[in-house]
Amino acid sequence: MAASTALIILGAAALLASQSLVALGADTSGGVKLKITGASIPSDLRPKVSFTLTDAKGSPLRVSDVDQGGLRFLIGAIATDPETKNTKVVNYVVTTATGNDYQVDGVATGPALASADQASIDNGGTFTDLGGGNFTYKFKTAVPADFNVGITHTVAGYATRNARASVSNDAFYFVPAGGPVEVMREVVSTAACNACHDDLAAHGGTRRDTRVCVLCHTDQTTDPESGNTVDFKVMVHKIHSGADLPSVEDGNPYRIIGFNRNVFDFSEINWPQDTRNCQTCHQGAQASNFKNNPSAQACGSCHDDVNFTTGANHVGGPQPNTACASCHAADGPEFGTSVTGAHTIPTKSSQLRGVNFEIVSFTNTKPGQNPTVVFNIKDNGGQPIAPAEMAGLSLVLAGPTTDYVNAVSENATSATATGDGNYSYTFKGTIPDTAAATYAVGIQGNLSKDVTDPAGQVVAAGVRDVGFNKVAYGAVTDSVPMPRKKIVDINSCNVCHETLALHGGTRRNTEFCVLCHNTAGSDIGKRTTANGPMPPESISFGPLIHKIHTGEEQKTKPFIVYGGSPSNPGPIELSEARFPTDRRNCTKCHVPGSNLLNFMREGAQPVVIKQGNTVVSTTPAIQSVCMGCHDSKVAKDHAEVQTLEGAETCTICHNEGRDFAVSASHAR
C-alpha cells in the first residue's frame, strides 16, 4: 500500500487474532443481558460467580435460553510489580496449544513453536439456578493453593443468544480476602474502541468488552504458529501501527494465526490518525498508565526495532524494564525524553502560532461578475497575520450549491489590506453568465515553521501550521444565499481521524472538500503529469468516500486515484483500505437522514468524467453514490436496467416507506 494512504481506515479484522471482527446481525431474540453480581474463592479453590440473566426488557431468562456454549466465564488476578508499579492480569486458566502448519498465499508454512501456553476460558463448570434469573457458576478450574487472597481479582463473562445476534459481556472486581478494590486494570475502555469500531466484536462477535479481552490476552498467551505474543498491550499497539512498524518496513510481516489457522496479516493496517495520539485509546481507570508506567513491552511493541536488553537503537543503551521511568518521566518539554514530550506531534506543537480564518463578506456574486472576498487571519493569540506572511494561501470559488460542478482556485497572498486587520481579494475569474442559485467560496492556507527540541535542534522542518477551512455563500440568482445541504459532518470524520488533514494537511473541513471534489472533478491533471493510464478517475466526494471506506470489500478492483503532492502525483491504491465497523451503519459518517433517497438534493448532478473535451462516462446521481459500495456487476446491471432514458427510478422501491427502503436494506 502506498505511503500516501496513511489516513486509510483501520482493518476490520484487526482486533483479535483468533477470529475476525464480524458484522452484527439483527437481534430477533428479545436480547440478553449478563450482570455479574458477586464472586468468591471458597476453600475448595474453585471460584464461584453470582450473576443474573435477563432479556432486553429485564425479564428473567434461563441458562437454556442462551446459545449452546454461549455462557462462559474467566477469572484472573491483577498483579502489581513492586518496583515499576505496573499491573498485569494473570489468568488462572491456562491451556497448551499445539503449533500447526498453515498457508500464507498458498505456501505451506511451519509453526514457529511446537506448542505454547494460552490463557483461556473455564470449561465444564456447574450452573445453579436460584430462580428469577439469578444463578451461580462454579468453576471447574481451581486456583493455585498459594494464590494471593489480598489482591484484586477480576471475573468476567459473556452470554450470547439467537446465534450470537444478541451478546452481553460483563466484568466484576473483587478482593478474595474481602475489603475494597483499590487496584484495577482498565488502561483502555470499550467506549474508546467503539468510537471507531462501533461495536468492537471479536471471536465470532462474543467479545465486546476490553475488560473481558484482557483476561485472555495476557503475557501468558502466545500464538505458536507465528511465535508472536498476543498480550493485549503488545498486540493492539502493533495492530494499530501496522504498516508503520519498523519490523514491517524492514520486510517482516506482522501476522497472527487464528482460529482454524486463518492468517491475519496486520502489516498493511494504516490507523486513520497519528499513533502518537495515545489518549485516543488510553481511556479508563488507568488512562494515564501509558505515561506513568512505561515498560519495554508496551513501548517496544511500536518501537520494535529497539532492543532494551542489548541496547540496540536505544540512546540509553541496555536498560532493565524497571528503569524506564527513571529517564522517561510522564510529562515534560516537547520533543524531549518524557513520554508525552517524545510523542509530541509536530503539527500540534505549541511552537506554532496557529492560523484562524474568518470570511467577513462575499460579494459581487451575480452572473458575469468578479466575486470579492473580504477575510482576515489571526493567530491563536488574536494577533493578525498578513496574507504575505503565509507560506500558502488560496481562495476556492465553486458552484452551484445545489450540486457543485465547477471550481476555481486562486492565490490570495496579494490580497489588499482594508483596515481592521481585514484583507480584500477580487477573483480574476468570473461567475459564469449562465450561473444560477448560490455559489460558495472557501479559504485554505498555512504558515511554515521549523520546530525544535529542548536543546534547540530542529526535529521537524517546515511544519505546516494550517488553518481550519472556512466557507461562505453568495446568492447568484437565489433571493438569499442557500448553503449546500450538509451530508457529512467533519466532527463525524474526526471521531476516527482525530484531525482529518489531507493534501498536505491544508484540507480539514468536508464543507470545503466538496468544492473541488465535485461531480465534474477527476484526477486527469495528476494523470497527465504522471503519465498515468487513461481514462481518469472521478474524485466526486460521494463516490470517492464510499469507495475508500468500502476498500478491500470492493468487488471491482483495483481502485486507483492519482494524487499526492505536485512532486509525487503518482497512483494511490484505495481498494486495500479497511473500515473498522459495519458499513451499513450509515450514520457513522452521515448526518442522520442524509443517506436516504428522500434527502436527495434537488438539482443533483450526474458524475461526468471527461478526457479533454470528450465525455468518457456519465453516471446518474443516485447510482454514482450507491455504486460506491454496491459495485458488483449484478448491482450495476440492476441500476442500469432501472434507469430509463436517463431517469433513475430508484425511489419506486428504495424510498422510505417502500419495501426495499434504504433504511430497511441497511438495517443491521
> All 3 cell numbers of residue 265?
496479516
**What is the rounded CA–CA span in Å between residue 237 and residue 227?**
17
What are the per-10-residue average pLDDT scores of the chain (668 residues)? 34 32 45 98 98 96 96 97 90 97 94 98 98 98 97 98 96 97 92 92 94 97 97 97 96 94 93 95 92 94 95 94 91 97 97 98 98 98 98 98 96 96 97 97 98 97 98 98 95 96 94 97 88 92 95 91 80 89 92 90 89 94 94 93 90 93 91
Dihedral angle of Cα 520, 521, 527, 533, to the nearest 10 degrees:
-50
Half-sphere exposure of residue 328: CA atoms within 13 angstroms, side-chain side: 25
Mark whether 310 and 382 lie in a shared domain.
no
Residue whose cell numbers read 455462557: 71
Q: What are the backbone dihedrals phi and psi of residue 83, each rounded to the nearest 5 degrees, phi first?
A: -90, -50
What integer pLDDT is reported at residue 2 of this predicted model? 36
Mark whether 168 and 229 lie in a shared domain.
yes
- The DSSP secondary structure of 257-298, one letter per residue, reads E-GGG-EEE-TT---SS-TT-GGGT--STTTTHHHHS--HHH
Q: Which of 296, 317, 342 delimits the end of a domain?
A: 342
- The DSSP secondary structure of 36-70, one letter per residue, reads EEEEE--TTS--EEEEEEE-TTS-B--GGGSPTT-
Q: Among 529, 542, 514, which Cα is nearest to 407's?
A: 514
User: Is 564 contained in some domain?
Assistant: yes
Alpha carbon 429 to its chain centroid, in Å, reads: 39
**What is the rounded CA–CA span in Å between residue 55 and residue 144?**
36
Please state the domain count of the chain: 3
> All 3 cell numbers of residue 176?
478474595
Q: Which of 455, 484, 513 delimits the end of a domain?
A: 484
The CATH number of the domain where 374 resides is what?
2.60.40.1930
- 419 sits in the region (left: phi over 0; alpha: psi -120 to 50; else beta) called left
**What is the rounded CA–CA span in Å between residue 248 and residue 268?**
9
What integer pLDDT is reported at residue 29 of this predicted model? 55
Whether the CA torsion 517, 522, 528, 534 is positive or negative: it is: positive
Residue range of the domain that includes 67: 33-342
User: Is 491 contained in some domain?
Assistant: no
Instruction: Indicate the pTM of the whole model.
Output: 0.90
Residue whose cell numbers read 478474595: 176
- Whether the CB-CB separation of 502 and 7 falls below 8 Å is answered with yes
> All 3 cell numbers of residue 504?
498536505
Q: Which of 433, 465, 484 delimits the end of a domain?
A: 484
Mark whether 390 and 306 lie in a shared domain.
no
User: Is 293 contained in some domain?
Assistant: yes
Mark whether 530 and 431 lie in a shared domain.
no
Mark whether 390 and 458 lie in a shared domain.
yes
Helix/strand/coil for 216: helix
- Whether the CB-CB separation of 153 and 176 falls below 8 Å is answered with yes
Helix/strand/coil for 215: helix
- Whether the CB-CB separation of 102 and 261 falls below 8 Å is answered with yes
User: Is 519 contained in some domain?
Assistant: no
User: Is 18 contained in some domain?
Assistant: no
Mark whether 310 and 366 lie in a shared domain.
no
User: Is 14 contained in some domain?
Assistant: no
Mark whether 255 and 389 lie in a shared domain.
no
User: Is 432 contained in some domain?
Assistant: yes
Mark whether 272 and 364 lie in a shared domain.
no
DSSP state of 437: S
Mark whether 380 and 334 lie in a shared domain.
no
**What is the rounded CA–CA span in Å between residue 407 and residue 520?**
9
Mark whether 317 and 395 lie in a shared domain.
no
Cβ partners under 8 Å of residue 451, min gap 6: 334, 335, 346, 349, 351, 352, 458, 459, 460, 463
Mark whether 143 and 266 lie in a shared domain.
yes
**What is the rounded CA–CA span in Å between residue 475 and residue 364?**
9
User: Is 438 contained in some domain?
Assistant: yes
**What is the rounded CA–CA span in Å between residue 497 and residue 487?**
18
Mark whether 384 and 277 lie in a shared domain.
no
